[in-house]
């Protein structure tokens, strides 16, 4: 056997386990060594029975003097009781529903028990301790040491993994080749791979486990950097249609605006225009706080591209936002003879340059036809834009709102065959807009393949939002303030908390979120009947039909509704200039960035506005987060803070991209990220194909298979 031996050839591993291991990507002995524990139990505290205290995690060693199964009187559970004795005393241990234990543990066996002690009628005892038989010369695996705990999914228990991995490690440890370049190991004071692999599985101390983790955090981030830098390199090999800058059009456009672009808008627009001039497709993220004016920048660069004969695909995350963009873009570009289409699930619309400013309904077939013929200059819609039927005649630029990535393949799919030149497919440029700030360490890792433009300045006189954390006793006062605002003609948002999946499971409701809907309905009923009977309320949630949602948003926008009770569906982009108060229930359940997005919905006309945060949690962490929100106004600063407080895993939520745990946890360590990025750049500069580093190349190959950033 050697490192590359498939796990199936290890005598102790049967077919069922081979399948389970393969499922988590473990094919060989080498792979098995890279299946790391996610935490440890410290059972190294070996004590004599007489010294044991209550509620202490300990390990004891002694002889079993009694072991037997008992059935509880209701006959529903079995209890296994054992008494263990050392030279200082005896103690009881119990296990529930493991009657087979009496098969493996016998009276007279010398054993180690490890776990937490409890107190019962008969004194101190251990409930469900980890047990391991011991004999002279036997090195313990599961007790009397720091014990690795692996994530116990897919039928692979920690106990089983320890039992398999330890002897293999002992045998093959010295054959594991160093994957990192030697200089990096030295310069960064890292454990070498052999030591690190041993210590990460069977650490000699928690400190050594940390050191081992640090080495792999470095290694995994380094691989991640190699991966994104490679991706960026690949992107730059692609070809596209260069779009020349048309100064005259741009000047006409800026003059036509009802406002003056901020310096930050102009700078971002210029970066984008410069990118579009090149014959490599742009992949750029335009990030700017809510209300920073990204749409105007998008309209400017779109117009420039249209004047050079290109079409634009403009994608928004929801239908409501698609409609809103359609209106805004049509307004912004009304003097420029442009055809704009809106593709939605119900009625498709069209603004024709001939019938200026007038929206006409059009059949979907017609709209798709006009797009293919190149008559539509900008087609706006949701994800429905990427269906096979929709093809552009000459797509130069794809703009996506609130979605960070839009892959090269997806981009190519939108193009008609004509875009395929003799050699290469021409990939349209991509401008992706987001209000979600990207912390620095993420910008250099998981977003490291994208170029960034930042609008870090708000148009003058914008957004005066006071964020206040409200104790429950002041609820009534808050409602009074709301009533006064409505009397002044203002509008109010009430956001209901997200329900966590776990709670939904316990409440035996489905996971599709009707529990969230229920919360909104209840709050809507309560507010409209008991608190604000004189005002006009409406509710909004994700399960409502799209047309109904659009209808309600329209009414709210037109001032026909005073209070909108909603789930987080209003999170992105919605523009209601007249709203001055936002009340958020269960605020601690939302991420900081998300809360920041919410409050960005109000105070859009420069009037004093209020964001009231109600919370139910007593957790210090939760309250610390809300305090940060009330103090910090800058979105990026908040995001950095959020990342620190919650940690990368929580911060990124479902977006885990297949990144291994250790790298994931290290994603908030900016200095480590910087170091690994520099190292990766240096290596790729001299050896782009990693010819001189075959082991690293192999690791990267495997790593790349699991990562999916799109
Ligand atoms: P976001 O970046 O959140 O998408 P929008 O593009 O929707 O922001 O802009 C928010 C509002 O600010 C819009 O009503 C827009 O007309 C206005 N706006 C954009 N740029 C400026 C500016 N430079 N000066 C004043 N108002 C602006
Ligand atoms: Mg926007």
Average pLDDT of the residues in 109-119? 93
Q: What is the pLDDT of residues 398-444, one digit of tens each?
A: 999 988 788 888 888 888 765 444 456 789 999 999 988 899 999 99
pLDDT at 502 over 50: no
Cα angle vertex 350, ends 348, 355, to 5°?
150
Contact criterion met (CB below 8 Å) for 345 and 356: no
Backbone phi, then psi, for 124, in 5-degree steps? -70, 135
Contact criterion met (CB below 8 Å) for 39 and 149: yes
pLDDT at 331 over 80: yes
Q: What is the pLDDT of residues 133-169, one digit of tens each?
A: 988 777 888 988 899 999 877 789 999 999 999 999 9
| pLDDT at site 460 | 64
| pLDDT at site 605 | 75
Q: How far is the CA of 573 from the centre of ligand 2 (A)?
A: 5
**Euclidean distance between CA atoms 310 and 303, whole angstroms:** 9
| pLDDT at site 265 | 97
| 3-state SS, residue 257 | coil
Cα angle vertex 339, ends 333, 340, to 5°?
75
Q: What is the pLDDT of residues 60-71, one digit of tens each?
A: 999 999 999 988
Q: Cα separations (Å) of 676 from 216, 217, 338, 440, 444? A: 12, 10, 47, 14, 10
Residue 705 burial by CB count (10 A; 0-12/13-18/19+): exposed, middle or buried? exposed
pLDDT at 691 over 80: yes
Ligand nearest, relative to CA of residue 293: 1
Q: How far is the CA of 293 from the centre of ligand 1 (A)?
A: 3
By most ligand atoms within 8 Å of CB, the mutation choice from 254, 290, 296 for ligand 1 is 296
Contact criterion met (CB below 8 Å) for 302 and 401: no
Output the average pLDDT for the chain.
Answer: 89
Q: Cα separations (Å) of 304 from 250, 263, 273, 280, 463? A: 7, 19, 8, 17, 30
**Euclidean distance between CA atoms 32 and 148, whole angstroms:** 14
Using the atom order of ligand 1, give the atom closest to the CA of residue 455: 2
Q: How far is the CA of 575 from the centre of ligand 2 (A)?
A: 8
| pLDDT at site 506 | 44
**Euclidean distance between CA atoms 636 and 642, whole angstroms:** 10
Q: What is the pLDDT of residues 277-302, one digit of tens each?
A: 999 999 999 999 878 899 999 999 99
**Euclidean distance between CA atoms 240 and 238, whole angstroms:** 7
| 3-state SS, residue 278 | coil
Pocket of ligand 1 (CB under 6 A): 259-262, 265, 288, 290-296, 435, 459, 575
Using the atom order of ligand 1, give the atom closest to the CA of residue 261: 23
**Euclidean distance between CA atoms 690 and 12, whole angstroms:** 37
By most ligand atoms within 8 Å of CB, the mutation choice from 295, 400, 576 for ligand 1 is 295
Pick 461 or 249 by higher pLDDT: 249
Within 13 Å and on the Cβ side, how many CA atoms surround 470? 22
By most ligand atoms within 8 Å of CB, the mutation choice from 291, 328, 437 for ligand 1 is 291
**Euclidean distance between CA atoms 304 and 241, whole angstroms:** 13
**361 DSSP β-pair partners:** 349
Task: Of 92-106, 424-438, 525-539, 562-576, give the lowest mean pLDDT range.
Answer: 562-576
Tell me which residue has its CA closest to atom 4 in ligand 1. Answer: 294
Contact criterion met (CB below 8 Å) for 372 and 393: yes
| pLDDT at site 357 | 66
Instruction: Look at strands 110-120 and 130-133 and give their pairing.
Output: antiparallel
Tell me which residue has its CA closest to atom 17 in ligand 1. Answer: 293
Q: What is the pLDDT of residues 11-22, one digit of tens each?
A: 999 999 999 999
**315 DSSP β-pair partners:** 381, 400
Backbone phi, then psi, for 473, in 5-degree steps? -65, -20
Tell me which residue has its CA closest to atom 23 in ligand 1. Answer: 261
Task: Of 31-45, 598-612, 656-670, give the lowest mean pLDDT range.
Answer: 598-612
pLDDT band at 273 (very low <50, low <70, confident <90, very high): very high
Q: What is the pLDDT of residues 465-476, one digit of tens each?
A: 899 999 989 999
Q: How far is the CA of 484 from the centre of ligand 2 (A)?
A: 29
Residues in the chain: 710
pLDDT at 499 over 70: no
pLDDT at 512 over 60: no
Task: Of 198-212, 302-316, 395-409, give the lowest mean pLDDT range.
Answer: 395-409
């Amino acid at each position: 056997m050697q490192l590359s031996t498939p796990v199936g050839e290890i005598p102790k591993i049967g077919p069922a386990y081979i399948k389970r291991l393969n499922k988590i990507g473990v094919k060989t002995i080498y792979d098995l060594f890279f299946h790391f524990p996610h935490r440890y139990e410290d059972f190294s505290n070996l004590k004599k029975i007489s010294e044991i205290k209550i509620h202490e995690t300990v390990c004891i060693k002694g002889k079993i003097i009694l072991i037997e199964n008992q059935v509880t009187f209701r006959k529903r559970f079995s209890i296994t009781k054992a008494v263990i004795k050392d030279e200082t005393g005896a103690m009881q241990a119990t296990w529930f529903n493991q009657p087979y234990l009496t098969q493996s543990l016998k009276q007279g066996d010398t054993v180690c028990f490890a776990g937490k002690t409890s107190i019962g009628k008969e004194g101190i005892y251990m409930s469900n301790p980890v047990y391991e038989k011991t004999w002279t010369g036997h090195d313990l695996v599961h007790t009397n040491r720091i014990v690795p705990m692996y994530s116990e999914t897919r039928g692979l228990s920690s106990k089983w993994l320890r039992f398999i991995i330890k002897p293999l490690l002992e045998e093959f440890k010295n054959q594991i080749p160093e994957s990192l370049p030697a200089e990096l190991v030295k310069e960064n004071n890292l454990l070498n791979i052999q030591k690190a692999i041993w210590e990460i599985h069977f650490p000699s101390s928690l400190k050594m486990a940390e050191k081992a983790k640090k080495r792999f955090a470095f290694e995994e981030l380094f691989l991640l950097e190699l991966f994104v830098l490679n991706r960026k390199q690949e992107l730059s090999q692609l070809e596209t249609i260069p779009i020349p800058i048309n100064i005259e059009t741009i000047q006409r456009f800026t003059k036509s605006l009802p406002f003056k672009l901020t310096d930050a808008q102009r700078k971002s627009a210029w970066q984008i225009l410069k990118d579009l001039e090149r014959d490599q497709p742009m992949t750029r993220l335009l990030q700017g706080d809510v209300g920073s004016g990204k749409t105007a920048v998008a309209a400017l660069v779109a117009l420039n591209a249209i004047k050079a004969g290109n079409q634009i695909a403009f994608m928004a995350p929801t239908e409501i936002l698609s409609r809103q963009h359609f209106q805004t873009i049509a307004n912004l570009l009304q003097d420029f003879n442009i055809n704009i289409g809106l593709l939605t699930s119900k009625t498709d619309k069209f603004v024709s340059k001939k019938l200026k400013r007038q929206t006409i309904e059009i059949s979907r077939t017609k709209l798709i036809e006009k797009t293919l013929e190149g008559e539509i200059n900008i087609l706006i819609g949701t994800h429905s834009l990427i269906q096979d039927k929709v093809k552009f005649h000459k797509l130069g630029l794809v703009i996506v709102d609130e979605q960070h990535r839009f892959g090269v393949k997806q981009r190519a799919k939108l193009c008609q065959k004509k875009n395929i030149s003799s050699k290469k497919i021409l990939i349209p440029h991509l401008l992706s807009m987001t209000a979600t700030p990207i912390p620095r360490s993420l910008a250099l890792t998981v977003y490291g393949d994208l170029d960034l433009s930042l609008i870090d300045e708000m148009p003058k006189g914008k957004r005066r939002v006071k964020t206040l954390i409200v104790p429950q006793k002041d609820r009534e006062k808050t409602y009074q303030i709301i009533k006064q605002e409505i009397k002044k003609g203002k509008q109010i948002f009430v956001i209901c908390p997200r329900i966590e999946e776990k709670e939904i499971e316990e409440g035996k409701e489905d996971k599709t979120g009707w529990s969230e809907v229920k919360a909104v309905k209840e709050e809507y009923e309560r507010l409209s009947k008991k608190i604000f009977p004189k005002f006009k309320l409406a509710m909004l949630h994700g399960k409502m039909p799209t047309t109904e949602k659009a209808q309600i948003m329209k009414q709210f926008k037109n001032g026909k509704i005073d209070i909108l009770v909603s789930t987080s569906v209003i999170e992105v982009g919605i523009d209601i200039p007249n709203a001055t108060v936002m009340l958020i229930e269960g605020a601690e359940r939302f991420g900081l960035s998300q809360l920041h997005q919410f409050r960005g919905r109000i105070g859009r006309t420069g009037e004093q506005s209020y964001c009231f945060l109600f919370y139910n949690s007593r957790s210090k962490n939760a309250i610390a987060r809300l305090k940060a929100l009330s103090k910090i106004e800058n979105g990026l600063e908040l995001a950095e803070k959020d990342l620190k407080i919650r940690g990368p895993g929580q911060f990124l939520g479902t977006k885990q991209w297949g990144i291994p745990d250790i790298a994931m946890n290290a994603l908030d360590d900016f200095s480590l990220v910087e170091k690994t990025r520099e190292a990766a750049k240096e290596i790729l500069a001299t050896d782009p194909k990693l010819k001189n580093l075959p082991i690293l190349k192999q690791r990267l190959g495997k790593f790349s298979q699991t990562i999916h950033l799109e």
